[in-house]
Amino acid sequence: MKPFEGKVAIVTGAARGIGRAIAERLARDGADVVICDLQAEWLAETAGAVQAMGRKALPLAVDVGDGESVAACVAETIRVFGRVDVMVNNAGITKDTLLVRMTDEAWDDVLRVNLKGTFLFTRAVAKPMMKQRGGAIVNIASVSGILGTPGQANYAASKAGVIALTKSTANELAARGVRANAVAPGFISSRMTDALSDDVRNQYLSRIPLGRFGTAEDIADAVAFLASGQSSYLTGQVLHVNGGMVM
């Protein structure tokens, strides 16, 4: 039997990039997947990829920073599938600039999506998971939330918050059989990182002992491990996937 056979997973930011790779990996391992994103034009593509693997897909346009939108997504998941077993909080944005130039809007927007969105979905799935007495929450953090990155005060703060939220969630929900862990990617090739200049990309590459940037599939593999029964004795942990950039 596949590790997620009979399981239902919600993945945010799943229309493209890392989120899509996660959705496809979970589907390949047997999960039915709720695909959440604001990029409605790409939702159908990811849903089609999941369905091509013989799994059910439920594409939903969701604003992760809006409590009503998040609650409606989880309610629809329960209505359609009757359960939720895996929650992957992947949705994230960047609005990079130096601290002294950062606007209130740039700060608020990044914290709203990256941190508040993770909180809202975690809160929304906690009750059905506790009722089931089982579930796995996997939050996507970042090496920036550990080291801090110049020009990313908002992003680094949001991801450090995600790590702290993960640990608090793990402590609160463990007694009901619900685990919460985080994946902290390093430099992963994605639409966000592709926007960086060649100079910045080369600076990061020089700091990676394995000598390459990560892929979306590297992160999907880590998420699949933390969401599966293979990590049943892991909770409140941060899995660093960075090619040795942080040891």
Which residues carry out catalysis? Answer: 155
Token look-up 């790590």 returns 163
Contact 58, 35 (CB under 8 A): yes
Let me know: does 84 contact 78? Beta carbons within 8 Å.
yes
Pairing type for strands 57-61 and 32-37 reads parallel
- 133 contacts 176 by C-beta, under 8 angstroms: yes
Beta carbons of 185 and 138 less than 8 angstroms apart? no
- Residue 187 contacts residue 215 (beta carbons within 8 Å): no
Contacts made by residues 220-223, CB under 8 angstroms, sequence distance 24+? 220/18, 220/21, 220/22, 220/24, 220/25, 221/25, 222/183, 223/22, 223/25, 223/26, 223/88, 223/138, 223/140, 223/183
Cα 66 from Cα 112, distance rounded (Å): 9
Residue 191 buriedness (CB in 10 A; 0-12 / 13-18 / 19+): exposed
Cα(110)–Cα(16) distance, integer angstroms? 18
